[in-house]
A and B are shown apart, each in its own frame.
Chain A
């Protein structure tokens, strides 16, 4: 894509000219994340998280490939091989902590990236495909993270695998055969561990491929921006490089401070002590919880305690949990408002800050709490609001809301005036 005023790639060195003729890879990079990509001039720091998510994927792939050099995916030795990495392998402790906390960091930035999209309406036309691909990436991330958590073969690994594959057992008739097929046995064992390792290695590269599609789809309409007003003229944009490479670089520095603080000073803060006990198929830990990034969805799973018409509670919980993410696929068509940015949508903004965010916070908290009152009831109320927000509130709000006045252009929003908008009406009295 590009706007007509985008800088053109002009290689100076003969080698680069030769390469440009044979394989224009530098031109591709220049146009994708270089000076050849014009970006709205008003992006705020919420627009940093895409680059940060890409950086996290790189951390995970680099540390993950290294860990795979020392890890053994066999139920008999997997736990010991992780301890071998922690104690014997040079810098092994750092690779493993970087990988485990890298997953947490990845989810932090991806959640912020998704909530940026929710608030600024990034999912709306003409950017629906970017959004849909983003949801696919998120689903792949969840699958990858789950299978990765099983690999150390501790108590939480084992029972997490059992509970999550047990979800498929809730499907009527074919559920149990599917569960047995997924595990390659009647309970998690060597077969399950091996296939999880194989897929855990593969999926990040699938994610990387979908990320390429995500960015490709982004470059067709270009980046959105905090006003939600589309780019009109050259004065609305600046080249990605050096303006946003610099801004993203600053954000990356801030991110790395937080990530390193976690990695070096509290590497087990987000983990569970139970996972340092080797897997024992005959004893269940008293309190099974997934990693923090799954808590909101785990709370929805457990919110269904009664049969719903003819659907058993267990199956209903499973359907609701998957539905909570699948509903995102329909978001571009549920929110009908032509105004993208929450800045200009007073009613939407209230439901966002005082509805969706508190509901997600409650679900997050309850997902990590034991399955007892009052947490069960709180998750039920929050789950109800969560689905109502997407399926009822967003369509109704977008139909009845009166948005506030949009700026004429990004330039006007930034500078207070835009020559383009001033000249058009001013020309009328002159010609009269």
Chain B
């Protein structure tokens, strides 16, 4: 062994111009680089919703007390959700609209469950900038189309909670939900 092991490796080996030190350099820096990037994952992931937030991400509701024409505000993922029992007149009004004339074309049928067309379940979050529209509570303004009205920037929704007028780009979002019985609905 030489006393100058560190400097000896500077000489090219095999005439290829690749030194053992180059290999060590690249391997070390690559390992450190990959390690650094992998370390970023937990640093980024910690900001995503935590387990307790996700655990509270489904809600069961008893809807037996909601009479036709009434609506309730419930909480789903810390946000309001509107459950509305449509009257036959409201259903007829929603079905009479030419779907292709809408900003976000959807039929009432597509926005409700088969055989439960009177139950309109949507998020109570305006698709413009996230305000809570009026119209679910007793005596609140329902807007020009009899559905919901957002007071922040004047978006009007119809009886199928579809956007009809104002700045909002889309219909009120329909969350994932299922009827666990005739009177209980599970959202999320």
Looking at the assembled complex, report how far the CB atom of A321 sits from the nearest CB atom of chain B, in whole angstroms.
Answer: 12
Q: Which of A243-251, A282-290, A399-407 contacts B (4 or more CB under 8 A)?
A: A282-290
The answer to the question of A181 belonging to the interface, with a C-beta cut-off of 8 Å to chain B, is yes
Bound together, the chains give a CA A355 to CA B109 distance in angstroms of 53
Q: Which residues of chain B are near A195, meaning CB under 8 Å?
A: 47
Asked if B152 and A191 make an inter-chain contact with CB atoms under 8 angstroms apart, the answer reads no
Which of B10-18, B20-28, B73-81, B177-185 lies at the interface? B73-81
Query: B89 interface residue, CB < 8 Å from A?
Result: no
Contacts of B53 in A (CB 8 A): 184-186, 189, 191
Interface residue tally on B, bucketed by range: 20 to 34
A302 to B73, CA, bound (A): 28
Q: Are B128 and A284 in contact (CB under 8 A)?
A: no
Task: Give Cα A283 to B132, complex, Å.
Answer: 6
Docked-complex contact B49 and A184, CB < 8 angstroms = yes
* Least Cβ–Cβ distance between A172 and chain B, in angstroms: 12
Q: Do residues A313 and B169 form an inter-chain contact, with CB atoms below 8 A? A: yes
B116 in the interface (beta carbon within 8 A): no
Asked if B152 contacts A284 (CB within 8 A), the reply is yes
A190 to chain B: closest residue by CB: B53
**A372 lies within 8 A of chain B by Cβ:** yes
- Which of the segments A105-113, A158-166, A207-215 contacts the partner chain? A158-166
Closest Cβ neighbor of A304 among chain B residues: B167
Q: Does A281 contact B152, Cβ atoms closer than 8 Å?
A: no
**Could you tell me if B49 and A159 are in contact, using CB atoms closer than 8 angstroms?**
no
Cβ–Cβ < 8 Å partners of A283 in chain B: 132
Q: What 0/1 readout, one digit per residue, does chain A (247-269) give for beta carbons within 8 Å of chain B?
A: 00000000000000000000000
Quick check: B152 and A184 within 8 Å, CB to CB?
Answer: no
Distance to closest chain A CB from B52 (angstroms): 10
Are B78 and A159 in contact (CB-based, < 8 A)? no
CB < 8 Å neighbour of A191 from B44, B49, B167, B169: B49
The count of chain A contact residues (Cβ–Cβ below 8 Å) is: 29
State the majority secondary structure of interface residues on B. Answer: loop
In the assembly, what is the distance between CA of A185 and CA of B78, in Å?
A: 9
Does A187 sit within 8 A of B, measured CB to CB? yes
B130 & A163 in contact (Cβ 8 Å cutoff): yes
**For residue A282, which residues in chain B have a CB less than 8 angstroms away from its CB?**
73, 75, 80, 124, 132
The answer, yes or no, to whether B129 is at the interface (CB within 8 Å) is yes
A-B contact count (CB 8 A): 75
B96 beta carbon closer than 8 Å to chain A? no
A185/B75 contact (C-beta < 8 A), A305-B167, A312-B169 known: no
Looking at B57, B73, B153, the one whose CB has the most chain A CB atoms below 10 A away is B153
Contacts of A184 in B (CB 8 A): 47-50, 53
A372, B132: Cβ atoms closer than 8 Å: no
A180 within 8 A of B: yes
Q: Is the interface of A mostly helix, strand, loop or mixed?
A: loop
Closest A-chain residue to B46, C-beta based? Answer: A184
Closest beta carbon of chain A to B34's beta carbon, Å = 23
**Nearest A-chain residue to B125, judged by Cβ:** A187
Q: How far is the CB of B71 from chain A (nearest CB, A)?
A: 13
Q: Are B78 and A186 in contact (CB under 8 A)?
A: yes
Q: How far is B57's CA from A159's CA once the two chains are assembled, in angstroms? A: 21
Chain A residues near B32 (CB, 8 Å)? none
> Per-residue 0/1 for B51-77: is the Cβ within 8 Å of any A Cβ (1 yes, 0 no)?
001000100000000000000010101
> B76 to chain A: closest CB distance in Å?
9
CA distance A372 to B57 in the complex (A): 36
> From residue 100 to 131 of chain B, which have CB atoms closer than 8 A to chain A?
124, 128-131
Across the interface, do B49 and A185 meet the contact criterion of CB distance under 8 Å? Answer: yes
Query: CA–CA, A182 to B48, complex, Å?
Result: 7
8 A Cβ contacts from B141-188 to A: 151-154, 167, 169
Q: Give the residue among B47, B57, B79, B130 with the most A Cβ atoms within 10 A.
A: B130
Please list the residues of chain B having a beta carbon within 8 angstroms of any beta carbon in chain A: 44, 47-50, 53, 57, 73, 75, 77-80, 124, 128-132, 151-154, 167, 169
The 6 tightest CB contacts between A and B, nearest first, are: A186-B77, A284-B131, A187-B78, A166-B130, A284-B132, A371-B153
Subset of 9 A-B contacts with CB under 8 Å: A181-B47, A181-B48, A186-B49, A186-B53, A186-B57, A191-B49, A282-B80, A286-B151, A288-B131
Residues of A within 8 A of B (CB): 159, 162-163, 166, 169, 180-182, 184-187, 189, 191, 195, 281-284, 286-288, 302, 305, 312-314, 371-372
